[in-house]
A = this chain, B = another copy of it.
Amino acid sequence: MTETAPRPTLEAVAARAGVSRATVSRVVNGGDGVREPLVARVRQAVDELGYVPNQAARSLVTRRHDAVAVIIAEPETRVFADPFFALQLRGISKELTAQDNQLVLLLTEGRDDHARVARYLAGGHVDGALVFSLHLDDPLPGLIQGAGVPTVFGGRPGWSDGTRDVVYVDSDNRGGAREAVRLLTGLGRTRIAHISGPLDQTSAADRLDGYRQVVGDTGPHLVVESDFTPGGGERAMRELLDRCPDVDAVFAANDLTASGVLRVLREHGRRVPEDVAVVGFDDMLPVAEQTDPPLTTVRQDIEEMGRIMARLLLRRLDRRGAGEEQGGGVVLPTTLVRRASA
């Protein structure tokens, strides 16, 4: 170890400027209420001594840790298996880093651990939280509210209709689904099936809604609930071929599901799109381009959703205490991307 000069303290700055510790602290941390000549004296003393504010001391004053928790309401195995989460985290990470905030990802083995996550939030270790992939009966939102931590949700929370103070970012799931299904009806398809995501998630429920808005209530033989994974898509497609062997189109709730659908159709000798047209959701790359055939799908900008979530939260934190909190949703548009599968 080399010897270094001791770091100048707040006290040293206060002594040199001839003011109190509290005054130095207020000036250094950008607080108001210090008269201009004093501000100038403190700034000069800071410069002369080369004083660097201590992070811990700073957060005592600002009550900010410059850290934001991210909670994905899925077991960590799924977080690392589904590229959707990596993309959303990428957007969040870029935005938080650009504003020098630390991304604190709280991983769990499952829902049983959500009480522990809420305890961590309540412990005052982060300034706010970004929460996504919520399921309807998850106690997490209530626990987070109890912890009193400002939160932005990814995806419209299922219970949020009518509550004004919930802030969320979502894609236009209904509109995107309508566009996908209209493409299929426009191609003259008449037995259009839907393989949905878990219907306790609003993203899945909204896409099913959009499908029904176009084709009406097609009855249970054309709708199979699945789980947003390739394996789930395979199982659902096998069931669908049993229930309705002459199905001529499938709208899959996401691209991973669609990749499983395509595999099963190939196994069964069905040509895509000639016999069965397939449309996905996400435009998840490289998946959507590498399927055989490449996937027609509904594009949502997942990374941008993450970025906007982070931005909304940081803005909310900056304005905290500056007036009434306003809730509401930001809903991003989707785009249909045509490739060979439909």
Point out residues on A near B: beta carbons under 8 Å.
55-56, 59, 65-67, 76-77, 80-81, 83, 86, 89-90, 93-94, 97, 100, 102-109, 113, 116-117, 119-120, 122-126
Contact = CB atoms under 8 A, between A and B. Distances in A.
Nearest to A118: B55
A103 B80 CA distance: 15
A267 to B, nearest CB: 18
Contacts of A122: 55-56
Contacts of A77: 90
B123 A59 contact: yes
A83 B123 CA distance: 32
A97 B119 CA distance: 14
Given A65-B125, A125-B65, A104 B120 contact: yes
Contacts of A100: 116
Contacts of A97: 108-109, 113
A106 B103 contact: yes
20 contacts: A55-B119, A56-B124, A66-B119, A67-B120, A67-B123, A67-B125, A76-B90, A80-B86, A81-B86, A89-B107, A93-B108, A97-B108, A102-B106, A102-B113, A102-B116, A102-B117, A103-B106, A104-B105, A105-B105, A125-B126
Contact of A125 (B90, B105, B125): B125
Contact of A120 (B102, B108, B123, B124): B102
Nearest to A142: B1
Given A80-B86, A104-B106, A104-B120, 8 more contacts: A59-B123, A66-B119, A67-B120, A67-B123, A76-B93, A102-B113, A102-B119, A102-B120
A123 B116 CA distance: 20
Nearest to A121: B102
Nearest to A107: B103
A79 to B, nearest CB: 9
A17 to B, nearest CB: 26
A142 to B, nearest CB: 10
